[in-house]
């Protein structure tokens, strides 16, 4: 045998050993991960239970909990949620409480400062006393169930990877997660902060074009902003700002307009798409209730869904519920603030931030008459003398969980309407249907009535002339019951007319989803359950239908050499359906991004631009005015309408050719627009992302289609229908759902990513209330002895 052959044999032998060791390591790792997989069959003794509880997970992983009392039902709910989602629950309470650095490290300190300042946990603690005894008891029962699971020491692998164990669960943890949802769905502080910057850094004419309805009558407010010493720093964690497209679709159809002769209801909340889902689907049954739907992991009850008598869904009203105040500090004491000619001492909370590894970062939160001082987060501290504080409806004591428990046991609209009074923050558009045939709608929640102005700019904090004088009375909130049209629909659109006596917001979502839903609802005399699903999955873009004809006219006139004739012809022939194989949505959406960036990005510093909300709506208004002959200063600065649009189109085509080749016929929306459900810790490394995240797949639609599918700048779709729900009120023993990416938060569960394809393709699963479950796994939770 030659030396060369010996060397090859040695190398192959070594490689074989290495491959074997890798295989053994992978097997061991898989075994390690799988060892914490939830037990879903057989029997488990749970000492806190008074009687046995049956938990059946159906073929889609939805737990159906059947208990003999509400006490055991909520204990079991806490236990089962912890089985599937404890790591998510713990991260959620830590995020909202500003305690991530304890387990993540120094990288989370700025995030913790942000949420300590926003005071969500403090607000949850203050809300506790406002709850009735029964609601408090439910929260206690739920916490007992979570803690019972923790004591079994079957924690999921994420805890071991991060090297910590969760603390016992408390009722305040559940309420804090609820407050986080109010934060995610009900904020406009960044809008006010941006407008303050604009007034101090841009010509007033440019600033006026950035505000939908410029408050020219409130000169005192404008001057107060211009004279303010507070300067924007932009040092806060930008990722903490909620997605500005957080919203939803919902609609309800009367029995007169449905094939079944009874109401049909559809709802799909638009939030971040992640692993695991923000929602956890459950069915809860006791002698007192039989309710099914979704809830935030870490919270008892069912917040959206149906029971045997009623069904309901929500979209975001998105009213102006956060106001900024220009507070004047005492020159002698930074903790004292001027109010009506006198200085008062603010509340100061010491909030030391414990960092993994042993370090402690000293931090304090200052709370004025109006709310916490947020200047240290988004504004320079110097010069001392003025700071910004924030007043927010969610920082007041509220009772959302009490409302949820009322929804779950409602029998009709009267019951539900009574429960709605406790749902104060965030303000939501509720649609409703019951088995009597009633359909209804209410824009619900605390919406401020201001003494001066409409919350469009920060206001002076040193005078009682400004501030709030209560909320829109409950009886005067927008309400519709059994309309003649036979349907009610909302999609974060404007829900009141000019005659409505109260101010809600001037920053409604663009109307395209709402208009498309109404078009489809009115396209047939009778609608079916399948029609409801088809509407939820619709990918026709009315945004493109409005603007693209204008753009093409401009582009054709400028394209004197016929350079883009074929592409223009293709765009003219487009039916505005954003399917994955079509090139036109790729061109249109890239063009919109190019227009937006070239219009604003050069005039506004990067850190300010990143937090600027409403860029698309502002640009759209400017373009509408320009095409009507009223070219504003922003368009003029961009070179005038024709040059601005044509140059942006040229840049768009160049970018697409560089990326996808010269043949536009081979371009496809799905090559860029790809669905992903990223795990919360997948950013740690590419290897972790490969292991925990599903493979990206092409998906149609966009942020403005009914099938909402918002993407990052890299094309990853990370925002859309976090849950899809369709119910026939004539048969509430079942309903249809999609919860992407799946029910379980455990990597080794068959329900971890089993609904990714379903989400992309619109394949719904049926969840039943009547005990007829297919491919079920049954677990008996035995009462303690």
CB atoms within 10 A of CB 573: 8
Residues 3-41 as b/e (b if ≥16 CB within 10 A, e otherwise) read: eeeeeeeeeeeeeeeeeeeeeeeeeeeeeebeebbbebe
- For residue 235, give the 3-state DSSP assignment: coil
- For residue 321, give the 3-state DSSP assignment: coil
What gap in Å lies between CA 232 and CA 436, rounded to an integer? 55
Backbone torsions φ then ψ of 325, nearest 5 degrees:
-120, 135
DSSP string, 557-571: HH-TT-TTHHHHHHH
What gap in Å lies between CA 491 and CA 519, rounded to an integer? 13
What gap in Å lies between CA 63 and CA 40, rounded to an integer? 9
- For residue 139, give the 3-state DSSP assignment: helix
What gap in Å lies between CA 428 and CA 500, rounded to an integer? 18
Helix (H) or strand (E) holding 481: strand 479-481
Residues 493-522 as b/e (b if ≥16 CB within 10 A, e otherwise) read: bbbeeeeeebbbbbbbbbbbbbbbbbebbe
Is 566 annotated as a binding-site member? no
Cα angle 140, 145, 149; round to 5: 145
CB 273, CB 722: distance < 8 Å: yes
Q: What is the signed CA dihedral for 379, 384, 390, 396, rounded to 10 degrees?
A: 140
Establish how many alpha carbons lie within 13 A of residue 315's alpha carbon, considering only the half-sphere containing its beta carbon: 29
Cis peptide before 97 (omega within 30 of 0): no
- For residue 328, give the 3-state DSSP assignment: strand
Backbone torsions φ then ψ of 465, nearest 5 degrees:
-70, -20
CB 281, CB 764: distance < 8 Å: no
Residue 64 is encoded by which pair of tokens? 């159906």
DSSP string, 287-302: TTEEEEEEEETT--S-
CB atoms within 10 A of CB 409: 18
CB 387, CB 193: distance < 8 Å: no
CB 421, CB 445: distance < 8 Å: no
CB 364, CB 380: distance < 8 Å: no
Q: Which residues contact 434 (CB under 8 A, 6 or more apart)?
A: 263, 309, 310, 311, 410, 411, 412, 413, 416, 729
Residues 766-776 as b/e (b if ≥16 CB within 10 A, e otherwise) read: ebbbeeebeee
What gap in Å lies between CA 726 and CA 737, rounded to an integer? 7
What gap in Å lies between CA 144 and CA 74, rounded to an integer? 9
Residue 575 is encoded by which pair of tokens? 């039916």
Helix (H) or strand (E) holding 392: strand 386-392
What gap in Å lies between CA 658 and CA 261, rounded to an integer? 55
What gap in Å lies between CA 777 and CA 779, rounded to an integer? 7
Q: Which of 547, 545, 607 is CA-nearest to residue 578? A: 545
CB 149, CB 81: distance < 8 Å: no
Active site residue 248: yes
Rounded CA Rg of the chain = 27
What gap in Å lies between CA 603 and CA 142, rounded to an integer? 52
Q: Which of 248, 274, 375, 648 is catalytic?
A: 248
What gap in Å lies between CA 299 and CA 288, rounded to an integer? 19
Q: Output the known binding site.
A: 323
Q: Output the known binding site for Ca(2+).
A: 323
Active site residues: 248
């Amino acid at each position: 045998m030659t030396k060369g052959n010996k060397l090859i044999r040695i190398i192959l032998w070594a490689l074989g050993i290495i491959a074997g060791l890798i295989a053994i390591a992978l097997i061991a790792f898989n075994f390690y991960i799988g060892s914490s997989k939830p037990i879903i069959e057989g029997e488990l003794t749970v000492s806190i239970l008074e009687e046995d509880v049956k938990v059946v997970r159906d073929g889609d992983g939805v737990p159906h909990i059947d208990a003999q009392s509400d006490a055991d039902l909520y204990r079991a709910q806490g236990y089962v949620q912890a089985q599937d989602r404890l790591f998510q629950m713990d991260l959620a309470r830590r995020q909202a409480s500003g305690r991530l650095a304890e387990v993540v490290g120094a990288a989370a300190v700025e995030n913790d400062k942000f949420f300590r300042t926003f005071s969500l946990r403090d607000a949850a603690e203050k809300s506790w006393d406002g709850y009735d005894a029964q609601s408090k008891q439910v929260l206690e029962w739920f916490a007992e169930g979570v803690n019972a699971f923790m004591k079994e020491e079957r924690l999921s692998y994420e805890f071991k990877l991060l090297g910590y164990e969760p603390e016992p669960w408390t009722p305040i943890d559940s309420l804090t997660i609820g407050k986080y949802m109010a934060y995610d769905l009900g904020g406009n502080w960044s809008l006010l902060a941006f407008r303050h910057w604009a007034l101090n850094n841009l010509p007033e004419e440019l600033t006026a074009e950035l505000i939908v309805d410029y408050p020219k009558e409130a000169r005192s407010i404008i001057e107060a902003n211009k004279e303010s010493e507070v300067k924007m720093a932009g040092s806060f964690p930008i990722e903490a700002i909620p997605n500005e497209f957080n919203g939803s679709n919902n609609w309800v159809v009367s029995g007169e307009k449905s094939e079944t002769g009874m109401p049909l209801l559809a709802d799909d909340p638009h939030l971040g798409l992640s692993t695991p889902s923000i929602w956890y689907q459950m069915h809860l049954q006791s002698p007192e209730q039989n309710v099914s739907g979704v809830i935030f992991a870490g919270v008892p009850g069912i917040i959206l869904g149906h029971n045997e008598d009623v069904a309901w869904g929500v979209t975001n009203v998105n009213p102006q519920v956060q106001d900024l105040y220009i507070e004047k500090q005492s020159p002698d004491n930074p903790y004292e603030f001027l109010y009506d000619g006198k200085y008062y001492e603010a509340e100061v909370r010491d909030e030391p931030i414990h960092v993994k590894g042993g370090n402690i970062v000293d931090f304090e939160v200052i709370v004025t008459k109006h709310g916490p001082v947020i200047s240290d987060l988004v504004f320079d501290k110097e010069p001392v003398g003025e700071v910004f504080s924030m007043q927010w409806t969610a920082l007041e004591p509220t009772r959302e969980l009490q409302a949820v428990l009322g929804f779950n046991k409602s029998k009709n609209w009267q019951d539900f309407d009574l429960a709605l009074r406790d749902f104060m923050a965030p303000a939501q558009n509720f649609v409703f249907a019951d088995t009597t045939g009633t359909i209804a709608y209410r824009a619900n929640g605390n919406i401020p009535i201001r003494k001066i102005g409409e919350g469009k700019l920060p206001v002076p904090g040193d005078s009682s002339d400004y501030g709030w004088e209560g909320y829109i009375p409950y009886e005067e909130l927008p309400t519709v019951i059994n309309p003649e049209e036979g349907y009610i629909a909302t999609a974060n659109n404007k829900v009141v007319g000019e005659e409505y006596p109260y101010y809600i917001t001037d920053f409604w979502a663009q109307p395209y989803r709402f208009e498309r839903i109404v078009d489809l609802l009115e396209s047939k005399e009778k609608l079916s359950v399948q029609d409801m699903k088809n509407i939820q999955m619709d990918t026709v873009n009315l945004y493109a239908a409005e603007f693209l004809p204008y753009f093409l006219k401009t582009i054709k006139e400028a394209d004197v050499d016929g350079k883009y004739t074929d592409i223009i012809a293709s765009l003219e022939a487009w039916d505005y359906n954003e399917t994955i194989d079509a090139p036109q949505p790729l061109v249109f959406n890239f063009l919109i991004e190019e227009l937006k960036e070239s219009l604003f990005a050069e005039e506004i510093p990067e850190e300010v631009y990143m937090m600027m909300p409403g860029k698309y709506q502002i640009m759209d208004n400017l373009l509408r005015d320009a095409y009507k002959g009223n070219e504003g200063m922003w368009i003029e600065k961009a070179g005038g309408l024709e040059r601005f649009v044509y140059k942006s189109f040229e840049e768009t085509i160049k970018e697409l050719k560089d990326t996808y080749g010269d043949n536009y016929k081979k371009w496809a929306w799905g090559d860029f627009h790809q669905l992903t459900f990223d795990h919360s810790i997948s950013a740690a490394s590419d290897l972790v992302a490969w292991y925990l995240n599903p493979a990206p797949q092409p998906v149609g639609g966009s942020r403005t289609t009914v099938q909402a599918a918002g993407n990052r700048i890299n094309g990853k779709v990370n925002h859309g229908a976090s849950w899809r729900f369709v119910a026939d009120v004539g048969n509430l023993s079942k309903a249809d759902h999609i919860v992407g990416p799946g029910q379980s938060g455990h990597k080794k569960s068959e329900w971890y990513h089993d609904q990714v394809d379903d989400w992309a393709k619109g394949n719904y699963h049926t969840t039943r209330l009547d005990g007829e479950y297919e491919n079920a796994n049954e677990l008996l939770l035995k009462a303690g002895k």
